[in-house]
């Protein structure tokens, strides 16, 4: 979320101003701690904003981050369970995303771009209140554990303390003579024991302790151990409820036909034939799309096929991949730069030696979540109720407000997501379903996009073009490193479509993250970016800017190693000597990947890539076999991850394995191309994915660490691109500087 | 109109015979375990079992299953007694988002019925479904585990990571 802090600060200036005019007292009243008890859901007792206990002892944990496969419901529940002293048994614990948009559920790390543990002073206090006032609830940026690590443990410790005190008061003994274990409080001296279910009501009458003592890392019992995920059993019997699975009585189902040309609009709709289809109930012109409502998806789809729509291309019908490529090239060669790093005098250092230069290129990419875009809404008595597989209920609320400014209320149920990868932070589907629900007051409308609409109207990962230049010293190490890229601001495109203020633009961090913070020691470094605008809608794609820069930097550094006739692993280790954490990671990667051994067989090669993103360091070594026919088999990927304190090691391993496969699909096939102002690809037959037979063996090793935790959902993605590209070079001598492989004469085997 | 059995129960609809089985299951029967992924038979999220055969229900008109018996993910087993495939999926902690896993489990169930001890090549050939989360390595392990070949499968990665606090 580039520049969000500053932008939100500016955009909400008026609101804050109003707040301050009322007095600091108003901001003080915004609860960003959430530790007060109260009434819970369905007869449960609420001990604080995250923990409720039912009389039967079942514990409900409110995890205000959405589960899209990353295992966050288990991870956040582990943080609470560690301090609350409960077992993480799916039969005893319910973990769900709360419907309430409480200030305490704000993603403060995402908003302030700072760890909670580092927040202090009046400015941070004010910003916490401002984000809490919104409230800024978001699952993204691999920030959920980073944000929740301390507050969720405090929530658990606070509740545990109140339960222990309640038991001690009941028994008339000192609280320090009692302890909590497995959902009970025990008085060991007398052998008495009470369950949390029996104690909850009394505990809720007590004041939360002001400073509950948290366990040291030595005392952790759950954190750092592999825990089975709470959502897995239901997902093996079709029982997990994704947004698309929403069933509400008397519901109708809609689908959508959007203007194929980006930024075009509906000129006219002839809906006679569509309305004549049996089971079609209504056709709604949404301005840039047409919605068709029917009894079932089948009827809506059949109606949509019978629509006759004339589109107004608004002059954007000539945009193509070729015109966009020309704009990128022009931007790289001319135009105003945003310089994000400028160490030493790179221009002078480049003039003083033999310049090594390479140009790298990446395409637009679609998210293609397995669950197509969808949402369900009903409009009744001036208020909405919404079922939404979303990464930000805040953005969902803004979307409904944009469609119906005078709505009285909105209740948002955040469901399970069939993949997210950044796509479900976008609000396009919510603006549409709001308008469709308004067209049929009192009737719940489930809007389901076809896969074709999903691929052709994604918020794409920006394409990027980068030119890098370097000069090596006598020892082969770079003395000058220049990175220039032309791309587009994902944050600007996203914010214009989805939120009430603009973010990003010329200085959008997501356009140069991973390059500006390139870790290798070089005396003269310059990173400059030129962001341009096209009609193509953009968004945040798993690892965002790092998905581009990780490939560029690690591909080029490999070229420098080759020019220096150095071993690519040792070359990196030399350049990381000043950074103990990354050097240790590289050392472990060298050992675990058997780097020093020779690969058996012909056409074999190894490639290494190391990249830091979302506060986590990941190194990957890919082993490939390249055939004479250009067939590339990725045999094995060894992944070493340093994410600080590990919470659930099995989730970390799963995220690394998954990121490798996700990136491999993009590397091998991923390309969204534009022709006549619209996306060329439409379904999985033209936007292909890696299947089981192509997936490499993935080995994950976690660096033992006591540092504060980093993110896990995204950081496994960026290193894979260059690891495989560099392995292909090692195996075949051919440099891959442009993705996907399919366009470079290679085919994934 | 069409008549068929779903998980042992008779079902009848007046919808036209062209209606894909997927939408009869999801939107008429309101059974949501079977998923919509692509609508063109590419991804396999909608896989159901029609008399022993794994079928992509999004491209199977209901007229084609007239009189037949269909099993969906909900029909495999009660929650308390998962099938060997479901149990292996839990043991290997396969699902991430989980959206494709109904189809994966149905495809694996048919594979194991036909080949009780499949090789990796058998798995590659039979399991053509798409998983965007990249759970393929665990799916492979889970199939071997379900086949009783867990001895040759790799251990869970978590057990070899030695992660966390020491």
Residue with tokens 């369900």: A376
Q: Look at residue A469 and give its three-state secondary structure.
A: strand
Query: Backbone phi, then psi, for A463, in 5-degree steps?
Result: -70, 155
Q: How far from chain centre, in Å, is Cα B1? A: 27
Q: Look at residue A433 and give its three-state secondary structure.
A: helix
Is the separation of the CB atoms in B87 and A233 below 8 Å? Answer: no
At A5 the pLDDT is 45
pLDDT tens-digit series, residues A114-172: 999 999 999 999 999 999 999 999 999 999 999 999 999 999 999 999 999 999 999 99
CA-based nearest residue to A66, from A224, A231, A225: A231
At A23 the pLDDT is 62
CA–CA distance, A639 with A718 (Å, rounded to integer): 12
CA–CA distance, A533 with A530 (Å, rounded to integer): 10
List chain B pLDDT tens, one digit each, 166 residues.
899 999 999 999 999 999 999 999 999 999 999 999 999 999 999 999 999 999 999 999 999 999 999 999 999 999 999 999 999 999 999 999 999 999 999 999 999 999 999 999 999 999 999 999 999 999 999 999 999 843 344 443 333 333 333 3
Instruction: Return the residue of A nearest to B133 by Cα.
Output: A658
The β-bridge partners of A59 are A53, A93
Q: Given an 8 Å threshold on Cβ–Cβ distance, is A706 in contact with B165?
A: yes
In chain B, which residues have their Cβ closer than 8 Å to the Cβ of A697? Answer: 137, 154
At A21 the pLDDT is 53
CA-based nearest residue to A611, from A562, A563, A558: A558
Q: Inform me whether the pLDDT recorded for A10 exceeds 70.
A: no
The β-bridge partners of A86 are none
Instruction: Return the residue of B nearest to A249 by Cα.
Output: B30
Q: Look at residue A306 and give its three-state secondary structure.
A: coil
Nearest to A649 among B73, B129, B164 (CB): B164
Structure tokens at A180: 């909590």
The alpha-helical segments, DSSP class H, found in A261-360 are 272-276, 297-305, 321-333, 346-351
Sheet architecture: strand order including A355-362: A338-343, A524-532, A478-488, A464-472, A355-362
Substitution target in A79, A217, A236, A247 with the highest count of B β-carbons within 10 Å is A236
In chain B, which residues have their Cβ closer than 8 Å to the Cβ of A666? Answer: none
At A72 the pLDDT is 98
Q: Look at residue A605 and give its three-state secondary structure.
A: strand
Nearest to B137 among A417, A657, A691 (CB): A657
Is the separation of the CB atoms in A196 and A86 below 8 Å? Answer: yes
CA distances (Å), origin A195, targets A198, A200, A209:
5, 9, 20
CA-based nearest residue to A229, from B48, B85, B129, B156: B156
- Report residue A500's pLDDT band, with 50, 70 and 90 as the boundaries: confident
Structure tokens at B35: 């998923």
Q: Inform me whether the pLDDT recorded for A418 exceeds 60.
A: yes
Provide the shortest C-alpha distance from residue B132 to chain A (in Å): 6
Q: Given an 8 Å threshold on Cβ–Cβ distance, is B100 in contact with A689?
A: no
Nearest to B93 among A229, A448, A662 (CB): A229
Q: Given an 8 Å threshold on Cβ–Cβ distance, is A236 in contact with B90?
A: yes
Average per-residue pLDDT in chain A?
96
Substitution target in B93, B109, B135, B141 with the highest count of A β-carbons within 10 Å is B93
CA–CA distance, A739 with B5 (Å, rounded to integer): 48
Nearest to A662 among B15, B34, B134 (CB): B134
Q: Is A344 exposed, middle or buried (0-12, 13-18, 19+ CB in 10 A)?
A: middle
pLDDT tens-digit series, residues A312-349: 999 999 999 999 999 999 999 997 899 999 999 999 99
Task: For residue A469, give every residue at least 6 positions away whose Cβ sits within 8 Å of its Cβ, in sequence order, or none.
Answer: A350, A355, A356, A357, A480, A481, A482
Nearest to A236 among B19, B26, B82 (CB): B82
At B130 the pLDDT is 98
Query: Backbone phi, then psi, for A16, in 5-degree steps?
Result: -65, -45
pLDDT tens-digit series, residues A702-746: 999 999 999 999 999 999 999 999 999 999 999 999 999 999 999
Structure tokens at B21: 């089985």
3-state DSSP percent of chain B in helix, strand and coil, to 5: 40, 15, 50
Provide the shortest C-alpha distance from residue A248 to chain B (in Å): 10
The alpha-helical segments, DSSP class H, found in chain B are 21-23, 84-91, 101-114, 120-126, 136-146, 157-161
pLDDT tens-digit series, residues A23-62: 678 888 999 999 999 999 989 999 999 999 998 899 999 9
Instruction: Return the residue of A nearest to B142 by Cα.
Output: A236
CA–CA distance, A440 with A425 (Å, rounded to integer): 26
CA–CA distance, A601 with A729 (Å, rounded to integer): 16
């Amino acid at each position: 979320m580039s520049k969000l802090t500053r932008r939100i600060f500016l955009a909400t200036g008026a609101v804050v101003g109003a707040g301050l005019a009322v007095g600091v007292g108003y901001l003080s009243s915004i609860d960003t701690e959430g530790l007060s008890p109260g009434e819970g859901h369905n007869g449960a007792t609420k001990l604080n904003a995250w923990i409720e206990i039912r009389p039967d002892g079942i514990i409900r944990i409110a995890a205000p981050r959405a589960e899209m496969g990353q295992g966050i419901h288990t991870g956040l529940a582990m943080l609470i369970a560690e301090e609350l002293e409960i077992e993480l048994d799916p039969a005893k614990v319910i973990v769900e995303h709360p419907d309430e948009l409480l200030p305490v559920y704000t993603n403060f790390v995402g908003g302030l771009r700072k760890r909670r543990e580092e927040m202090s002073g009046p400015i941070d206090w004010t910003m916490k209140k401002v984000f809490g006032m919104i409230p800024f609830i978001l699952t993204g940026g691999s920030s959920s554990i980073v944000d929740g690590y301390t507050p969720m443990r405090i929530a658990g410790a606070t509740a545990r303390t109140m339960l222990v005190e309640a038991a001690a008061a009941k028994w008339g003994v000192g609280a320090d003579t009692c302890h909590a274990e497995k959902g009970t409080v025990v008085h060991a001296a007398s052998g008495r024991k009470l369950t949390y279910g029996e104690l909850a009501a009394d505990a809720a009458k007590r004041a939360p302790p002001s400073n509950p003592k948290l366990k040291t890392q030595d005392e952790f019992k759950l954190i750092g151990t592999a825990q089975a995920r709470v959502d897995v059993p239901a997902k093996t019997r079709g029982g997990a409820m994704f947004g698309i699975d929403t069933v509400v009585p008397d519901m109708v189902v809609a689908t959508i036909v959007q203007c194929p040309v980006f930024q075009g609009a509906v000129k006219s709709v002839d809906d006679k034939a569509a309305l004549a289809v049996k089971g079609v109930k209504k056709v709604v012109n949404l301005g840039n799309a047409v919605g068709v409502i029917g009894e079932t998806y089948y009827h809506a789809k059949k109606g949509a096929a019978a629509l006759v729509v004339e589109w107004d291309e608004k002059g954007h019908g000539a945009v193509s991949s070729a015109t966009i490529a020309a704009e990128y090239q022009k931007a790289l060669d001319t135009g105003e730069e945003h310089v994000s790093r400028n160490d030493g005098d790179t221009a002078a250092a480049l003039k003083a030696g033999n310049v090594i230069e390479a140009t790298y290129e990446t395409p637009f990419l679609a998210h293609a979540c397995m669950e197509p875009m969808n949402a369900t809404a009903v409009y009744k008595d001036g208020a909405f109720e919404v079922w939404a597989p979303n990464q930000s209920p805040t953005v969902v609320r803004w979307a409904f407000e944009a469609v119906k400014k005078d709505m009285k209320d909105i209740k948002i149920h955040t469901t399970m997501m069939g993949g997210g990868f950044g796509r479900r932070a976008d609000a396009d589907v919510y603006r549409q379903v709001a308008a469709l629900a308004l067209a049929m007051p009192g009737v719940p409308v489930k809007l389901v996009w076809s896969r074709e609409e999903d691929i052709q109207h994604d918020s794409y990962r920006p394409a990027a073009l980068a030119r890098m230049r370097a000069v090596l010293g006598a020892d082969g190490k770079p003395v000058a490193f220049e990175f220039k890229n032309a791309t587009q601001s994902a944050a600007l495109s996203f914010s214009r479509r989805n939120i009430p203020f603009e973010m990003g633009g010329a200085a959008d961090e997501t356009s140069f993250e991973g390059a500006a913070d390139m870790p290798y020691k070089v005396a003269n470094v310059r990173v400059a970016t030129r962001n341009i605008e096209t009609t193509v809608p953009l968004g945040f794609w798993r690892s965002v800017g790092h998905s581009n820069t990780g490939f560029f930097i690690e591909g080029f550094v490999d070229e420098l190693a080759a020019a220096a006739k150095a071993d690519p692993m040792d070359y990196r280790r030399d350049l990381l000597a000043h950074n103990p954490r990354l050097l240790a990671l590289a050392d472990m990667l060298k050992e675990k990947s058997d780097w020093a051994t020779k690969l058996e067989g012909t056409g074999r090669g190894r490639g290494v890539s190391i990249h830091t993103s979302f506060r986590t360091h990941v190194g990957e070594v890919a082993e490939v076999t390249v055939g004479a026919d250009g067939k590339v088999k990725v045999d094995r990927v060894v992944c070493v991850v340093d994410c600080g304190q590990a919470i659930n090691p099995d989730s970390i391993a799963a995220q690394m394995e998954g990121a490798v496969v996700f990136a491999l699909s993009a590397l091998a096939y991923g390309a969204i191309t534009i022709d006549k102002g619209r996306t060329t690809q439409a379904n999985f037959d033209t936007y292909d994915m890696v299947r089981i037979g192509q997936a490499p063996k993935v080995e994950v090793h976690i660096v033992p660490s006591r540092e504060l935790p980093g993110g896990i959902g995204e950081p496994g993605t960026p290193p894979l691109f260059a690891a495989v590209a560099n392995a292909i070079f090692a195996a075949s001598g051919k440099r891959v500087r442009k993705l996907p492989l399919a366009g470079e004469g290679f085919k994934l085997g | 109109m069409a008549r068929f059995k779903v998980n042992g129960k008779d079902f009848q609809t007046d919808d036209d015979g062209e209606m894909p089985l997927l939408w009869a299951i999801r939107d008429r029967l309101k059974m949501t375990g079977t998923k919509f992924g692509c609508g063109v038979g590419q991804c396999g999220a909608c896989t159901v079992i029609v008399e022993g055969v794994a079928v992509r229900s999004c491209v199977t008109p209901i007229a084609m299953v007239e009189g037949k018996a269909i099993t969906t993910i909900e029909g495999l087993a009660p929650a308390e007694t998962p099938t060997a495939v479901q149990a292996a999926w839990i043991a290997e902690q396969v699902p991430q988002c989980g959206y494709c896993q109904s189809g994966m489990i149905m495809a694996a169930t048919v594979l194991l019925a036909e080949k009780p001890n499949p090789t990796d090549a058998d798995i590659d050939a039979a399991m053509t479904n798409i998983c965007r989360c990249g759970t393929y390595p665990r799916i492979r392990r889970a199939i071997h585990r379900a086949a009783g070949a867990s001895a040759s499968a790799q251990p869970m990665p978590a057990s070899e990571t030695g992660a966390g606090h020491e």
